[in-house]
Amino acid sequence: MSASWSIRRRALLAGAALASIVPAHAQVPRGELRIGFQKGASLLLLQKAQGSIEKKLAPLGFGVKWVEFPAGPQLLEGLNVGAVDIGFVGEAPPIFAQAAGALFYYIGHDPAAPQAEAVLVPRDSPIRSVADLKGRKVALNKGSNVHYLLVKLVEKHGLRWSDISPVYLPPADARAAFESRNVDAWVIWDPFLAAAEKQTGARVLADATGVASNHQFYLGARGFVEKNGPVIRAVFDDAGEKGRWLKNNLRAAAEQIAPLQGLPVDVVESSLRRYQFDVRPLSDAVLAEQQRIADTFHQLGLIPRRVVVKEATWKAV
């Protein structure tokens, strides 16, 4: 027997041995879904912790890759440059992204959660109303849902945008500035909101009740969505199932999510209570509200051109 034949024979035997221990139905994924997420996206974190999306996509031959971002605007940038295929963000980031020419679709949303975003001040702050923010430094993540909240609160209390001094910082840097008193107030969403309340004694000056709905949106890169409808529908179905489970198992969900958010379980549970987790397709009413937000940003000169939100809506869920 020649040496080359001996080598080939050993290779064939090794392949046969490997085949005997790998299930016949196992397949190498033919595609990959890259999911952009933030630590504040509790439902996605639950899906990540439980591996439920991976299970849904396995029969479709798709694997999953999770890519973390500090906030919605950065996630939208990742979607725009092709680093991720889908993501979950608040109201404002997709408007800024659409105005910048990003190609994506709204593919679903969660119901309003106005108590899950708020303006915080230190417990002993002399600031007692939004009107007292005049001339004050206010930290916020530029282009996030809280950007719109602050715009509407300022307007509601008779101030102009120029009456305050916005300090644009991502959540971690904003909290540091808030705790060190380098800013006078901080506009933030859950779970960072609940963490600041419980860990620093921060006081809620105003939340979004009666001012902004604070919807959360599922977005997808247009090219990916148009070619992979079954994948999007599977993710959508899984979000619905996990949302229902979460609402009926808040403590258990908080225990699974907490390690991924790096927060105590009680903080996570408090933040979960302020969301509804009931994913659904976009309605005309939600689209109209999102359009009002876009128009407000355009009128204030915060985006360079008017956008038509409906043009970025996927109807195939």
User: What tens digit of pLDDT does each residue of 113-171 get?
Assistant: 999 999 999 999 999 999 999 999 999 998 888 999 999 999 999 999 999 999 999 99
- Residue 95 and residue 220 share a domain: yes
Cα distance between residue 267 and residue 223, in whole Å: 38
Mean pLDDT is lowest, of 142-151, 178-187, 205-214, 250-259, for: 142-151
Specify which of 16-20, 35-39, 142-146, 199-203 reaches the highest per-range mean pLDDT: 199-203
- Residue 246 and residue 107 share a domain: yes
The residue from 207, 224, 239 where one domain ends is 207
Cα distance between residue 294 and residue 305, in whole Å: 10
How many structural domains is the chain composed of? 2
Look at residue 290 and tell me whether its pLDDT is greater than 90.
Answer: yes
Q: What is the mean pLDDT of residues 199-226?
A: 94
**pLDDT bracket for residue 294 (50, 70, 90):** very high
pLDDT for 165: 97
Q: What is the mean pLDDT of residues 271-293?
A: 92
Would you say residue 184 lies in a domain?
Answer: yes
- Residue 132 and residue 64 share a domain: no
Would you say residue 17 lies in a domain?
Answer: no
pLDDT for 6: 41
- Residue 57 and residue 123 share a domain: no
- Residue 134 and residue 102 share a domain: no
Q: What is the mean pLDDT of residues 239-251?
A: 94
- CATH code for the domain in which residue 91 is found: 3.40.190.10
**pLDDT bracket for residue 112 (50, 70, 90):** very high
- Residue 263 and residue 289 share a domain: yes
Instruction: Please name which of 75, 68, 67, 84 lies closest in space to residue 224, comparing C-alpha atoms.
Output: 84
Task: Calculate the average pLDDT of the chain.
Answer: 88
Would you say residue 301 lies in a domain?
Answer: yes
Look at residue 252 and tell me whether its pLDDT is greater than 90.
Answer: yes
- Altogether, the residues listed in the chain come to a count of 317
268 against 7, higher pLDDT: 268
Q: What is the mean pLDDT of residues 261-279?
A: 92
| DSSP β-bridge partners for residue 257 | none
Would you say residue 8 lies in a domain?
Answer: no
Instruction: Please name which of 58, 13, 7 lies closest in space to residue 33, comparing C-alpha atoms.
Output: 58
Token pair listed for 129: 């109303």
- Residue 221 and residue 93 share a domain: yes
Would you say residue 142 lies in a domain?
Answer: yes
Would you say residue 219 lies in a domain?
Answer: yes
Would you say residue 21 lies in a domain?
Answer: no
Domain range enclosing 121: 114-207
- Residue 96 and residue 167 share a domain: no
Q: What is the mean pLDDT of residues 49-78?
A: 93
The residue from 190, 207, 224 where one domain ends is 207
- How many other CB atoms sit within 10 Å of the CB of residue 162? 7
- Residue 150 and residue 85 share a domain: no
Instruction: Please name which of 59, 56, 200 lies closest in space to residue 125, comparing C-alpha atoms.
Output: 200
Would you say residue 4 lies in a domain?
Answer: no
Q: What is the mean pLDDT of residues 262-277?
A: 93
91 against 185, higher pLDDT: 185
pLDDT tens for 39-55 read 877 789 999 999 999 99
pLDDT for 298: 93
Look at residue 283 and tell me whether its pLDDT is greater than 50.
Answer: yes
Q: What is the mean pLDDT of residues 281-305?
A: 91
Look at residue 62 and tell me whether its pLDDT is greater than 50.
Answer: yes
